[in-house]
């Protein structure tokens, strides 16, 4: 490439500096690098009619998480001599204009298997090929390239975790060091006629009138992802003994799992770096758990769903999806709304749904409980409806993983023991016997302290019974008032 030429790195996921091959390649032998994020109305147009704040496709907690991640990325790029450029509009139109006006010779973006990005990326690749622009689109969101696994399996995705493990083996890059530190990024070139904005706030995007209270305790960004990763890894015994599904789904002050999923979703954390760090811990302990229950095993569940999703036409639907059982689900908007809005009357289920709406994250088993309840457990509603609610509200909302788990929980695919149902009462009681979790997320019950409330009730009942006895059961309205 001639010196003086410009490259563009298009950030979508992969919002990080560490282990970012697209950024590294864009920086190589380029005089200028344009780091670009496009605010896409498809995901980010505010929807005032939605049942909770946010856009049609994303709840406000996830949008906030994304904006925080972008602000953190901008800061990191500034430290390397660059900055993040933010533009708004339909991404392929914005991109093509940028490529033309900035005279870009090389465009780099992380490979993405989601159908929405596959279609978008094809448009960009077609334009680049006609315009003679080099495209570099490496696989770095996942440990494996799903297409490689499918090819090894004769063109079909493996449909069980164990068969996936056999095909996958050890990732090819696993024993070589990843590029974790980047020392500099070439400067941004002339931005021509573009009006480049700073990373916007929720208010600037029209989601809120004022900066309001933050509901989710999880802050977005690579810095926070790496801090969280270090914190999780510092307890080597915990990492070595990690065993899912063991763990308390009601633990909310200190969750029982890593809560790295939103960082993996946006690529604030590299799954490959996470994998290597876990393997380093394993090397230094006597014994450790293994897939499917270990932490490495959790990352491999992610890979499994990515592979099946990539290789299955209509993976996100019942109709036309060959691996999905055809089930005559009911259609009932009122029941669906009651579930979505935490009005089922089952405190355990409702508390989980409030945690979803406010935090955008719940423990895996809590997700199991509400997904089972909506589908084969109690309401017999379509898993696609529940999937939509999760897809909008989760901060870790991930096309392949979310659809894969809904298929699983509704016994539509992968798992078929439909007689095994989570009780919406006793399962919760097992983990939350004193109702701490429930009262935390259901504010209406927050002020009720059973110990003092029942003591007070007993006192009042005692007084009333005594009065009844004294007056031989003939009690006037005024007598009752005197007891209040
Ligand atoms: P940890 O237990 O610490 O695991 C580490 C990482 O492994 C996770 O961050 C995640 O990337 C991966 N992982 C863990 N469990 C699974 C799993 N069952 N399938 C695939 N990958 C897994 N996870 C998402 O990331 N996005 C989703 O949209 C999503 N939707 C779900 C919907 C339903 C109905 C259910 C039952 C589960 C869903 N999950 C989803 C999977 C799982 O619940 C979360 O990944 C996990 O709870 C995230 O918490 P953690 O990061 O603390 O997980």
Cα–Cα dist 210/222, whole Å:
26
Ligand 1 pocket: which of 309, 364, 391 to mutate (most atoms <8 Å of CB)?
Answer: 364
Q: How far is the CA of 406 from the centre of ligand 1 (A)?
A: 12
Q: How far is the CA of 139 from the centre of ligand 1 (A)?
A: 20
Residue pLDDT, tens place only, 419-451:
999 999 999 999 999 999 999 999 776 667 767
Q: Whose CA is nearest to atom 9 of ligand 1?
A: 261
Cα–Cα dist 120/148, whole Å:
22
What is the arithmetic mean of pLDDT over 387-403?
Answer: 98
Q: Determine if residue 467 is labeled as part of a ligand binding site.
A: no
Q: How far is the CA of 416 from the centre of ligand 1 (A)?
A: 20
Q: Which is more confident, 467 or 71?
A: 71
Cβ of 411 closer than 6 Å to ligand 1, yes or no, is no
Asked whether the predicted pLDDT for residue 216 surpasses 50, the reply is yes
Cα–Cα dist 403/43, whole Å:
18
The pLDDT value recorded for residue 189 is: 95
Cα–Cα dist 365/388, whole Å:
19
Asked whether the predicted pLDDT for residue 230 surpasses 80, the reply is yes
Asked whether the predicted pLDDT for residue 218 surpasses 90, the reply is yes
Cβ of 368 closer than 6 Å to ligand 1, yes or no, is yes
Looking from the CA of residue 391, the nearest atom of ligand 1 is 28
Q: How far is the CA of 218 from the centre of ligand 1 (A)?
A: 15
Cβ of 244 closer than 6 Å to ligand 1, yes or no, is yes
Cβ of 87 closer than 6 Å to ligand 1, yes or no, is no
Cβ of 405 closer than 6 Å to ligand 1, yes or no, is yes
Question: Measured in whole angstroms, how far is the alpha carbon of residue 450 from the centre of its chain?
Answer: 35
Q: Which is more confident, 2 or 251?
A: 251
DSSP E strands in 165-295: the ranges are: none
What is the arithmetic mean of pLDDT over 237-261?
Answer: 96
Q: How far is the CA of 125 from the centre of ligand 1 (A)?
A: 31
At residue 196, φ and ψ (nearest 5 deg) are -90, 130
Looking from the CA of residue 271, the nearest atom of ligand 1 is 11
Cβ of 298 closer than 6 Å to ligand 1, yes or no, is yes
Q: How many CA atoms lie within 13 A of 113 on its CB side?
A: 27
Residue pLDDT, tens place only, 313-356:
999 999 999 999 999 999 999 999 999 999 999 999 999 999 99
Asked whether the predicted pLDDT for residue 236 surpasses 50, the reply is yes
Q: Whose CA is nearest to atom 2 of ligand 1?
A: 257
Asked whether the predicted pLDDT for residue 256 surpasses 90, the reply is yes
Cα–Cα dist 445/346, whole Å:
12
Asked whether the predicted pLDDT for residue 1 surpasses 50, the reply is no
Cβ of 401 closer than 6 Å to ligand 1, yes or no, is yes
Tokens 């491999």: give the residue. Answer: 300
Ligand 1 pocket: which of 298, 362, 411 to mutate (most atoms <8 Å of CB)?
Answer: 298
Cβ of 225 closer than 6 Å to ligand 1, yes or no, is no
pLDDT band at 131 (very low <50, low <70, confident <90, very high): very high
Cα–Cα dist 413/239, whole Å:
30
Tokens 């926070």: give the residue. Answer: 224
Q: Determine if residue 299 is labeled as part of a ligand binding site.
A: yes
Q: DSSP 3-state assignment of 479?
A: helix
Q: Determine if residue 261 is labeled as part of a ligand binding site.
A: yes
Single pTM value for the model = 0.93
Q: Determine if residue 397 is labeled as part of a ligand binding site.
A: yes
Q: Determine if residue 390 is labeled as part of a ligand binding site.
A: no
Contact 442, 350 (CB under 8 A): yes
Bridging pattern class, strands 6-11 and 32-39? parallel
Cβ of 392 closer than 6 Å to ligand 1, yes or no, is no
The pLDDT value recorded for residue 458 is: 84
Range of lowest pLDDT (66-75, 96-105, 149-158, 170-179): 170-179
Q: Determine if residue 298 is labeled as part of a ligand binding site.
A: yes
Ligand 1 pocket: which of 224, 256, 257, 261 to mutate (most atoms <8 Å of CB)?
Answer: 261
Percentage of the chain lying above the pLDDT 90 cut: 84
Looking from the CA of residue 370, the nearest atom of ligand 1 is 34
Length of the chain: 484
Q: Whose CA is nearest to atom 22 of ligand 1?
A: 302
DSSP letters along 15-80, please? --STT-HHHHHHHTT-SEEEEEEEE-HHHHSB-TTSSSSBBSSSBHHHHHHHHHHHHHHHHHHHHT
């Amino acid at each position: 490439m001639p010196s003086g030429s410009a490259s563009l790195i298009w950030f979508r996921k992969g919002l990080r500096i560490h282990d970012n091959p697209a950024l590294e390649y864009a920086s190589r032998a380029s005089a200028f690098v344009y780091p670009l994020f496009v605010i896409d109305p498809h995901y980010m147009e505010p929807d005032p009619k939605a049942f909770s704040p946010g856009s049609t496709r994303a709840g406000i907690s996830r949008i906030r998480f994304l904006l925080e991640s972008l602000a953190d990325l901008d800061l990191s790029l500034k430290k390397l001599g660059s900055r993040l450029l933010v533009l708004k509009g339909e991404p392929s139109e914005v991109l093509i204009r940028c490529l033309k006006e900035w005279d870009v010779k090389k465009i780099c973006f992380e490979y993405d298997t989601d159908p929405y990005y596959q279609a978008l990326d094809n448009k960009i690749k077609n334009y680049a090929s006609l315009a003679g622009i080099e495209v570099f689109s490496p696989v770095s969101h996942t440990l494996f390239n799903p297409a490689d696994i499918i090819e090894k399996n004769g063109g079909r995705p493996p449909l069980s975790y164990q068969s996936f493990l056999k095909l996958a083996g050890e990732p090819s890059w696993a024993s070589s060091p990843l590029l974790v530190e980047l020392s500099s990024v070439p400067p941004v070139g002339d931005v021509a006629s573009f009006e480049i904005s700073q990373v916007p706030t929720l208010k600037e995007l029209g989601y809120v009138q004022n900066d309001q209270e933050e509901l989710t305790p999880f802050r977005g960004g690579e810095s926070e992802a790496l801090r969280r990763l270090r914190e999780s890894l510092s307890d080597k015994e915990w990492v070595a003994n990690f065993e899912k599904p063991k763990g308390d789904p009601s633990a909310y002050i200190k969750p029982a799992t890593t809560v790295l999923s939103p960082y993996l979703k946006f690529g604030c954390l590299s799954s490959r770096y996470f994998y290597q760090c876990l393997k380093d811990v394993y090397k230094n302990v006597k014994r450790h758990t293994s897939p499917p229950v270990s932490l490495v095993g959790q990352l491999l569940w992610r890979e499994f769903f990515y592979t099946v999703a990539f290789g299955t036409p209509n993976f996100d639907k019942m109709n036309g999806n060959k691996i999905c059982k055809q089930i005559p689900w009911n259609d009932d908007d009122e029941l669906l709304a009651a579930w979505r809005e935490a009005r089922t009357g089952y405190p355990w289920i409702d508390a989980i749904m409030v945690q979803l709406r406010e935090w955008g994250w719940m423990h895996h088993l809590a997700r199991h409980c509400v997904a089972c309840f909506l589908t084969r457990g109690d309401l017999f509603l379509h898993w696609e409806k529940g999937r939509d609610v999760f897809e909008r509200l989760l901060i870790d909302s991930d096309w392949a993983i979310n659809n894969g788990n809904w298929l699983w929980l509704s016994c539509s695919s992968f798992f078929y023991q439909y007689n095994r149902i989570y009780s919406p009462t006793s399962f919760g009681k097992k983990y939350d016997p004193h109702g701490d979790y429930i009262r935390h997320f259901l504010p209406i019950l927050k002020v009720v302290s059973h110990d003092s409330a029942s003591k007070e009730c007993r006192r009042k009942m005692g007084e009333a019974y005594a009065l009844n006895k004294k007056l031989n059961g003939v009690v006037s309205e005024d007598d009752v008032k005197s007891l209040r």
